[in-house]
Amino acid sequence: MVSFEKMCRELNVSRETISIFECYIELLKKWQKVQNLVSNNTLHEVWDRHIADSMQTVLLYPDAKVWMDLGSGGGLPGIVLAILLKNNTESHVHMIESNLRKVAFLRTVIRELSLKATVHSDRADKVISDWKIRPDAISARGFAAFSLICDLCEPLISKGSVGVFHKGKDFIQEFDKASLYWSLDLIQETSMIDKEGVMIILKGLTPRPTV
């Protein structure tokens, strides 16, 4: 498993950026007491289990500047993306979250850390249906089954957005189900953090003809 320190070396993360991550973790732990943002069983290993895991999203698609993060929850990977891209003048992270308490947490983090990000408080299908400008990339971690992700993201991926998704050990079954309805152009990489997890880079998505 790749550690947070090694991921920082891979991405050439500055000491200043690490300090911002430390502030984010402080806020995460503070809000965790009243709002379930991550599993309590994994909070003690937040740096490697959650932060480093989210960082590999950028590592897999470093050219993206404008991201859309589905089901941002506690900010993984949305806040992590915004922290890593903080000094890029062209970057912006759009986080979609329907849970109002989590929306409040995300907006607090964005404000206190001066991040270039926006939280959209609504369901992902509603936000995407009204979306005007194509993001470079779409991220999702622990969000939904792959077939549902395909349904939601098709309007954006068909216009050139690239999906970078965290998936678990059941991805083969999820892929088989999605393949019944979609012709998929994707790359599957082994997760650098979770030996049972995979990272999916989805570059093309075309509906299969109905019989």
Query: Domains (ranges, CATH) in the chain?
Result: 4-207 (3.40.50.150)
Q: What angle, 0 to 180 degrees and rounded to 10, lies between the N-to-C axes of helices 171-179 and 146-157? A: 60
- pLDDT tens-digit readout, 174-200: 999 999 999 999 999 999 998 899 999
Closest CA to 86 of 116, 52, 62: 116
DSSP-derived pairing of the beta strands 162-167 and 198-207: antiparallel
Residue type, 211: V
pLDDT score of 210 more than 80: no
Residues 35-74 have pLDDT tens digits of: 889 888 888 889 999 999 999 999 999 999 999 999 999 9
pTM of the model: 0.96
pLDDT for res 211: 58
Q: In sequence order, what are the residues at sequence separation of 6 or more whose Cβ sits closer than 8 angstroms to the Cβ of residue 97? A: 71, 72, 73, 103, 106, 119, 120, 121
pLDDT at residue number 195: 87
